């Protein structure tokens, strides 16, 4: 287990981790389990859900939220409004909203109207704008066979998972930017991969805007919550998608195996922290000590760990001479490296090296070729067809037969690893 002073813990803990800590504090009084809610509902009648949430059809639908009852044991319904329905943007003088604009809509005052109504969010959503661009390019014949149409959620944000057919799927934030979490592409991957924990960790880093390492709730390799979460010697099982406790709070000084979510393939019985997390905790202690003496600690400006507690994909070799692409245990991946302070190191992301290892370990048949610094080559070939790729390995533009690959805009005289 680990111990942090309250000052450090509160100062560096992320949104997701803070939520778990608050839930653990709550659990000292009572634990929000299904048994608790069953007993609560027996003695306290919950309000009946609105028709919209009970019907859930094309004309009547809504979103079911936890209500303001202990442990959110009861539910409440917020009805989805349709295109053109009156809505409220909130504020002084506005009525209290009884519903919300449905998927793909947002509340605004349309030109010529006096009151706000539900209108399409096309012009205000990055994801819907990306969809429109994709559709326009498809009409013009500019879309390759491996390119995927962006998927948006009901609020106009990017869906949390993006896939490269035959390769890997990875997590993205609400703006479509890649974040932690990756897995081999399968037909059912999006059932288990939803990236909730990864998105919380990314938001925490953005909001805290810290140049130093930040502690977050531990995620699994796919970006969901690790089902075992600990703070000091107190541990609890949580739901992998919501992060909410699913077990009683337990002191685990005698071992973690007593928890129902303990998995010997993923967890050590005698300690919760992984090697990288131990190093990170030491760094945070050092930063705290230096800060009290008004030092600016430049050497810790990069987080060496991922949100799953394992090593990040880029590591500095102990000699200090070069950066290298690392597997989750901190070991080099093949010979992907770059001298410190070189242009290769400046542009290094190791996304290809990590995907390559993931695919090799899963015995996949098609393995990407990477640049010397572990990045994706700008041009890739597959089954006799060649195409340009972005930094995440996704196809850009139409493909051409391998014999005509020099006609691709990324051919660059045969140099597929430019330093720009």
CA pseudo-torsion sign 386, 389, 393, 398 = negative
Hey, where are the domains in the chain?
Answer: 34-120, 126-179+194-200, 313-419
Res 20: pLDDT: 46
Beta bridge mates, 385:
382, 401
Q: Tokens at residue 354, please?
A: 């990590």
From first to last of its 420 residues, the chain has per-residue pLDDT tens of 343 333 333 333 343 444 444 444 444 455 677 888 888 889 988 988 888 888 888 778 888 888 888 888 998 888 899 888 988 877 776 666 778 888 778 888 877 888 889 887 766 688 988 998 999 999 999 999 999 999 988 778 999 999 999 999 999 999 999 999 999 999 888 788 999 999 999 998 888 877 667 778 999 999 999 999 998 889 999 999 999 999 988 888 877 888 999 998 888 888 899 999 998 888 888 877 777 777 766 556 578 899 999 999 999 998 889 999 999 999 999 999 999 999 999 999 999 999 999 999 999 989 999 999 999 999 999 999 999 999 999 999 999 999 999 999 999 999 999 876
DSSP state of 335: E
Smallest CA-to-CA distance from 232 within 247, 253, 218 is with 253
Neighbours of 92 (CB within 10 A): 4
**Domain range 34-120, CATH class:** few secondary structures
Q: What is the dihedral of CA 13, 17, 23, 27, to 10 degrees?
A: -90
11 alpha-carbon distance from chain centroid: 22
**CA gap 386, 365 in Å, rounded:** 17
pTM: 0.74
* DSSP SS3 for 48: coil
What would you measure as the largest C-alpha separation in the chain, in angstroms?
75
Res 8: pLDDT: 33
Look at the domain 126-179+194-200 and name its fold: Invariant Chain; Chain I (4.10.800)
Q: Tokens at residue 184, please?
A: 């081999």
* DSSP SS3 for 235: strand
Res 16: pLDDT: 44
Q: What's the full length of the chain, in residues?
A: 420
Res 10: pLDDT: 34
Instruction: Estimate the crossing angle of helix 196-208 against helix 15-27, to 10 degrees.
Output: 110
């Amino acid at each position: 287990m680990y111990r942090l002073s309250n000052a450090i813990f509160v100062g560096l803990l992320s949104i997701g981790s803070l939520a778990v800590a608050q839930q653990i504090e709550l659990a000292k009084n009572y634990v929000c389990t299904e048994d608790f809610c069953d007993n609560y509902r027996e003695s306290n009648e919950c309000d009946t859900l609105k028709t919209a949430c009970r019907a859930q059809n094309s004309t009547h639908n809504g979103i079911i939220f936890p209500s303001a009852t202990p442990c959110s044991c009861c539910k409440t319904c917020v009805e989805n409004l349709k295109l053109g329905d009156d809505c409220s943007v909130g504020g002084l003088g506005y009525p209290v909203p009884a519903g919300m604009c449905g998927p793909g809509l947002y509340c605004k005052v349309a030109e010529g109207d006096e009151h706000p109504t539900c209108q399409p969010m096309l012009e205000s959503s990055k994801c819907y704008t990306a969809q429109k661009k994709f559709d326009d390019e498809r009409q013009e014949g500019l879309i390759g066979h491996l390119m995927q149409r962006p998927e948006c959620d009901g609020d106009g944000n990017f869906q949390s998972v993006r896939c490269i057919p035959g390769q890997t799927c990875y997590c993205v934030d609400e703006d479509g930017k890649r974040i932690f979490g990756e897995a081999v592409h399968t037909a059912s991957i999006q059932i288990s991969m939803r990236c909730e924990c990864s998105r919380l960790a990314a938001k925490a880093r953005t909001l805290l805007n810290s140049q130093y390492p930040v502690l977050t709730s531990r995620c699994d390799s796919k970006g969901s919550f690790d089902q075992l979460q600990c703070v000091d010697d107190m541990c609890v099982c949580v739901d992998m998608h919501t992060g909410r406790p699913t077990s009683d709070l337990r002191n685990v000084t005698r071992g973690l195996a007593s928890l129902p979510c303990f998995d010997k393939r993923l967890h050590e019985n005698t300690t919760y922290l992984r090697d990288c997390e131990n190093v990170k905790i030491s760094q945070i202690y050092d930063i705290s000590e230096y800060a009290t003496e008004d030092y600016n600690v430049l050497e810790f400006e990069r987080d060496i760990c991922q949100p799953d507690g394992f090593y990040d994909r880029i590591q500095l070799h102990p000699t200090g001479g070069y950066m290298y692409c690392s597997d989750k245990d901190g070991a080099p991946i093949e010979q992907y490296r770059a001298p410190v302070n070189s242009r290769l190191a400046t542009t290094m992301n190791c996304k290809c090296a990590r995907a390559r290892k993931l695919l090799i370990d899963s015995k996949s048949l098609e393995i990407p070729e990477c640049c010397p610094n572990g990045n994706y080559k700008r041009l890739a070939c597959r089954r006799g067809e060649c195409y340009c790729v972005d930094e995440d390995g996704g196809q850009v533009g139409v493909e051409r037969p391998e014999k005509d690959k020099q006609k691709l805009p990324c051919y660059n005289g045969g140099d597929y690893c430019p330093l720009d």
